[in-house]
Structure 1
Amino acid sequence: MLQLLDFTGQNIIATKADDLLGLKDYEKIHPFIHNIINTGNKVRWYFEMDDDSNSGSTGFWEDGVIEINYGSMKFTHSDDIEVIAIVGDKKWEKCMKSIMKPFKNAKVVYFEMAEKEKAKAWIINNEK
């Protein structure tokens, strides 16, 4: 499941994944994307992964693959994403950079969980 974090606002979408992800999670942030691009801005996405969730599930990873069916997802706003800060355990870096490939025009920076505050500052302060 994808949760919106409290610093979502203006041109920032801040999310935390703590369970299996799918099409409904993308649909959850889709209206926020529209609100941002309607103001003439590009989206800045903070994406935190918490695989130490207490949800009782196996986490959001199954055999190292996130549960997203790219075949049924249409990334109609891939050009509207300016930067993406991915925050998570180092073991997911390569996989997550691959998953974010549809957002080819966005600058993607990976931060380890210990660098969470640095990632937030990077997104909030519009640092490229």
Structure 2
Amino acid sequence: MVEIKETDDPKVFAVKVSGTLGKEEYDILVPALETRISQQGKINLYWEFENFDGWKPDGLWEDLKFDVQHVTDFDKIAIVGGKKWEQTITQLMKPFTTAEVKYFEHEERDEAREFVGL
């Protein structure tokens, strides 16, 4: 499930994800992100995992396609999670973006929000 959160700053995009992400979730997420990027230029991304189980193969493919197309479109990316593998994913994504990427535990949520300007 993808839940796009409203933000006061149009340069900050916030999303909360749970369960397993497939193409149907990316069909919601990608157009919203691309619209924001086209309107604002580079943006900050707040990405929070809550009871996240990973990606379906078609969701992983959609994620990879998006990442390749938007390497330079983010200034900062905050990833909030609570599982070791989520922290590892954060490290693995760093070579695929020019953004400053940081991982935060759930109890550091306020610091993550501050990092991206929420």
TM-score of Structure 1 vs Structure 2, range by shorter chain: 0.7 to 0.9
Q: 1:115 to 1:71 in 2, by over 3 A?
A: closer
Q: Distance in 1 between matches of 2:39 and 2:48?
A: 25
- Say if 2:75 and 2:98, in contact at 8 Å, map to a contact too: yes
2:100 aligned with 1:110, yes or no? no
3-state SS of paired residue (1:94)? helix
- Say if 1:46 and 1:123, in contact at 8 Å, map to a contact too: yes
Provide the aligned length of Structure 1 versus Structure 2: 113
Out of 108, 112, 117, the residue aligned to residue 119 of structure 1 is 112
Supply the AA of the counterpart residue of 1:97.
Q
RMSD: 2.6
With normalisation by structure 1, the TM-score equals 0.71
Structure with greater strand percent: 2
Structure 1, residues 9-65: CA drift from partner, whole Å, max 9, x if none? 5011101111101233233222333333333520211000111xxxxxxx523xxxx
With normalisation by structure 2, the TM-score equals 0.76
**Structure with bigger gyration radius:** 1
2:86 aligned with 1:95, yes or no? no
Q: Segments of 4+ in structure 1 off by > 6 A? A: none
- Say if 2:42 and 2:73, in contact at 8 Å, map to a contact too: yes
- Say if 1:78 and 1:102, in contact at 8 Å, map to a contact too: no
Following superposition, the deviation at residue 70 of structure 1 comes to 2.7
3-state SS of paired residue (1:18)? strand
Supply the AA of the counterpart residue of 1:24.
E
Uncovered stretches (5+) of structure 1, i.e. residues with no partner: 52-58
